Structure 1
Amino acid sequence: MRDAVIVDAVRTPIGKRNGSLAGIHPGDLSAHVLTALAGRTGLDPAIVDDVVWGCVTQQGDQSGNVGRVGVLAAGWPEHVPATTVDRKCGSAQQAVAFAAAGVIAGHYDVAIAGGVESMSRVVMGANVGDGAPYSPSVLERYGVERMNQGIGAEMVAEKWGLTRGQLDEYSARSHARTAEAADAGAFEGQLAPIAGLTADEGLRRGSSIDSLAGLKPAFKPDGVIHAGNSSQISDGAGALLITTSEQAAQRGWTPLARIHTTVVTGDDPVIMLTGPIPATAKALERSGLGIEEIGAFEVNEAFAPVPLAWQAEFGVRDEVLNPLGGAIAVGHPLGGSGAILMTRLVHHMRDQGIRYGLQTMCEAGGMANATILELL
């Protein structure tokens, strides 16, 4: 029986929009983590069967199969192929799922999965605007004039009865947890510094409910969603080396974790952000694990209502939900976030001796991936 294991995982520090990483081409950002991954593991790039790469806004500098551009920019052999996938915010997590499936099926022996997004270089909303990506027949089907993630976040907050105070309290906690983790060195073993950036750039130490209270709602005049309880616009990349246990043993690699279960599902595209709830339920059912067996959860902080609504449904303890903070504190480089979160998760599992971890992400169009990792 073939399996799929993660040998190692690495990421760039996450850069603020128009910050330290803005001047770096996304192909070169991709090359940076590919090179770092090879260096950390002693990987000979010539044996890589495929690179599966996530990227959402595939236009301009991110068009033309940016995964392949990254392979070439890294100086890897020309016979190493790459493909770029788009499942919106879950693109890099889907890349992991595709790479794992290829390894398990025997199509690959060694694969790289990851992703990139340079949000400093793209027009915001170009692929996920109010109406353009959705045809008139889709808008007619759902009886709406537009589909918008910010409005979806407002709908989630209303449906689950989440107040602005609760959202801001959660957001301040995200910054506090990230600061605590950074000060404890929790990220040092996973980062590939670049352009002088050695830590996630978006962290705002000392964030509080009071400091967030002055921010104006972003999507509704009387709404509860604002810049401080939403994910930051960011640049970054991450990469994971995926193979079988047998191949790892033959090549002298000691894997970090096994990819235990991976699923994807769709949900209401109007509210859009609730997909992690059915995706988590599907992953648990397919894995045979109970929610209480999972020791750490990464639920992407696209907006504060997303993890809070998810938590209300599953009743998990505060301390195991996004234990290192999340995208509200450090940013959400769309096509790279799935790999960045998984890098954070797998290193946290190793550092804390956590057997099972679960990652899930909401995605535009009302979809979500969920992946369960098992520590090795």
Structure 2
Amino acid sequence: MATPVIVEAVRTPIGRRGGWLSGLKAVELLRLVQVEVIRRAGIEPAEVGQIIGGCVTQAGEQSLNVTRNAWLSTGLPWSVPASTVDTSCGSAQQANHLISALIAADVIDIGIACGVESMSRVPIGVNLYQGPGHYKTRDYPWDDPPKSQFGGAERIARREGLSRADLDGYGLLSQRRAARAWAQGRFAAEVVPVDVRGGDPVPGAPAVVDRDQGVRETTPEGLAAIAPAIPDGLHTAGTISQVSDGAAAVLWMSRDRALALGLRPRAILRHQAVVGADPYFLLDGPIEATRTVLGRASLKIGDIDRYEINEAFAAVVLAWRNAYDADLDRLNVSGGAISLGHPLGASGARLLVTALHELERTDGTLALVAMCCGGSLGTAAILERC
């Protein structure tokens, strides 16, 4: 079997809903990172065997295989094929799983795994509506947005004995860590600036966006003053992932091909997993997926240097931490979806991009990336730096 390795990994900054990146279509965001990983590696675009991208709300501007449309819009060789997958929030992580597996199976020797979501332009759930108050999946309560996800997060919080103060405390930590990461320049190597002048005008947007827009000054008093997201709930806008726009991409190769091209293998997937979780709690996927991937890799949680657990809701991350007694100092050390944002179809790749750069920054070896996903799913991967 060939050994799949990561050669390049980049992401756009993440914009708020209606914010700096909202004037660009999803294809414009996604093609930027597709082109950037090729540019950084210095390879011929036609050498890419396949591209697989993640996108959750595949409707309107994000429909009809947005990954292929993004590639065609680059003007690069049309012979490179592309597919779009939907594993809910884990879509771009699953795209990386699939490209890695295709290389290991000797189907291709170069591939791009990526993801995109423009939640400003294609709001979550628009592909589910049949009319006011009606959803296509109404018979399945775990897929009835947004009630099910908020309800699942609240059930997890109460099961774990988490208080409003506990959740607010984590939201504050996420924002402070993200602000510190930007101040220290941690994201400089992974973020590709986005020129927004060619898109629809967005009042107040800079000409070139080079920072995550969701990071903000936060205080305990400010968080405590925010109303609950649902009646009698514990979560607020300060402890839930931000609705966002963004894209990310990872360039994979077989180790032999990378070395033949004079490129440095940077990381491998030690193992990967996609699992189902209890629909009553809906968002326990990271707990279940972590258990599976650690077992497959014959590792313990203490063996891992960094944990990137998607911050869909504060309770999801704190429940995962409780389940594994994980070291908070290794967990989402540069912030997460609460502070940086969560463009659904891009976040799985964004987490891998950030995990790789964090391992390189700290001379670490292993990172765990795990996500909760709609439909009661969980994704997890163990990234091992070469």
**TM-score bin (small chain):** over 0.9
- Does the residue aligned with 1:277 lie in a helix, a strand or coil? helix
The residue aligned with 2:198 is none
Determine if contact 1:262/1:372 at 8 Å carries over to the other structure: yes
Specify the code of the residue in structure 2 equivalent to 1:44.
E
Determine if contact 1:4/1:100 at 8 Å carries over to the other structure: yes
- Does the residue aligned with 1:228 lie in a helix, a strand or coil? coil
The residue aligned with 2:254 is 244
TM-score (norm: length of structure 1):
0.95
Alignment of 1:106-121 (within 5 A): 106-121=106-121
Number of equivalent positions: 370
Give the unaligned 5+ runs of structure 1.
none
The residue aligned with 2:179 is 179
Task: Sort the Cα spacing of 1:164 and 1:242 in 2 relative to 1 into closer, same or farther, 3 A.
Answer: same
The residue aligned with 1:314 is 324
The residue aligned with 2:11 is 11
The residue aligned with 1:203 is 215
1:375 corresponds to 2:385: yes
Determine if contact 2:244/2:341 at 8 Å carries over to the other structure: yes
Specify the code of the residue in structure 2 equivalent to 1:279.
A
Give, in whole Å, the separation in 1 of the partners of 2:123 and 2:328. Answer: 36
1:215 corresponds to 2:226: yes
The residue aligned with 2:205 is none
1:281 corresponds to 2:284: no
1:151 corresponds to 2:151: yes
1:21 corresponds to 2:21: yes
Specify the code of the residue in structure 1 equivalent to 2:59.
Q
- Does the residue aligned with 1:368 lie in a helix, a strand or coil? strand
Determine if contact 1:99/1:112 at 8 Å carries over to the other structure: yes
- Once the 2 structures are TM-superposed, how far is the Cα of residue 270 of structure 1 from its aligned partner? 3.0
Deviations 1:174-233 (A, max 9, x none): 01001111111100001110031111011012x1221111111112x2110111100000
- Once the 2 structures are TM-superposed, how far is the Cα of residue 134 of structure 1 from its aligned partner? 3.0
Give, in whole Å, the separation in 1 of the partners of 2:25 and 2:62. Answer: 8
- Once the 2 structures are TM-superposed, how far is the Cα of residue 331 of structure 1 from its aligned partner? 0.6
Task: Sort the Cα spacing of 1:18 and 1:109 in 2 relative to 1 into closer, same or farther, 3 A.
Answer: same
Determine if contact 2:125/2:145 at 8 Å carries over to the other structure: no
- Does the residue aligned with 2:56 lie in a helix, a strand or coil? coil
- Once the 2 structures are TM-superposed, how far is the Cα of residue 127 of structure 1 from its aligned partner? 4.8
Give, in whole Å, the separation in 2 of the partners of 1:60 and 1:145. Answer: 19
The residue aligned with 2:302 is 292
- Once the 2 structures are TM-superposed, how far is the Cα of residue 128 of structure 1 from its aligned partner? 6.7
Provide runs of 4+ in structure 1 moved above 3 Å.
Answer: 127-131, 144-147
Give the unaligned 5+ runs of structure 2.
196-207
Alignment of 1:68-83 (within 5 A): 68-83=68-83
The answer to which structure has the higher helix fraction is 1
- Once the 2 structures are TM-superposed, how far is the Cα of residue 124 of structure 1 from its aligned partner? 3.1
- Does the residue aligned with 1:249 lie in a helix, a strand or coil? helix
The residue aligned with 2:337 is 327
Alignment of 1:46-125 (within 5 A): 46-125=46-125
- Does the residue aligned with 1:334 lie in a helix, a strand or coil? coil
Deviations 1:93-129 (A, max 9, x none): 0000010110000111100001000000113333578
Give, in whole Å, the separation in 2 of the partners of 1:209 and 1:74. Answer: 45
Give, in whole Å, the separation in 2 of the partners of 1:294 and 1:117. Answer: 29
Give, in whole Å, the separation in 2 of the partners of 1:109 and 1:28. Answer: 26
The residue aligned with 2:364 is 354
After superposition, the CA RMSD in angstroms is: 1.6
Determine if contact 2:59/2:127 at 8 Å carries over to the other structure: no
Give, in whole Å, the separation in 2 of the partners of 1:85 and 1:372. Answer: 21
Specify the code of the residue in structure 1 equivalent to 2:222.
S
TM-score (norm: length of structure 2):
0.93
Of 244, 250, 263, 1:253 maps to 263
Task: Sort the Cα spacing of 1:131 and 1:159 in 2 relative to 1 into closer, same or farther, 3 A.
Answer: farther
Give, in whole Å, the separation in 2 of the partners of 1:81 and 1:190. Answer: 25
The residue aligned with 2:45 is 45
Of 311, 335, 349, 1:339 maps to 349
Task: Sort the Cα spacing of 1:351 and 1:128 in 2 relative to 1 into closer, same or farther, 3 A.
Answer: farther
Determine if contact 1:131/1:147 at 8 Å carries over to the other structure: no
Give, in whole Å, the separation in 2 of the partners of 1:6 and 1:75. Answer: 25
- Once the 2 structures are TM-superposed, how far is the Cα of residue 278 of structure 1 from its aligned partner? 1.0
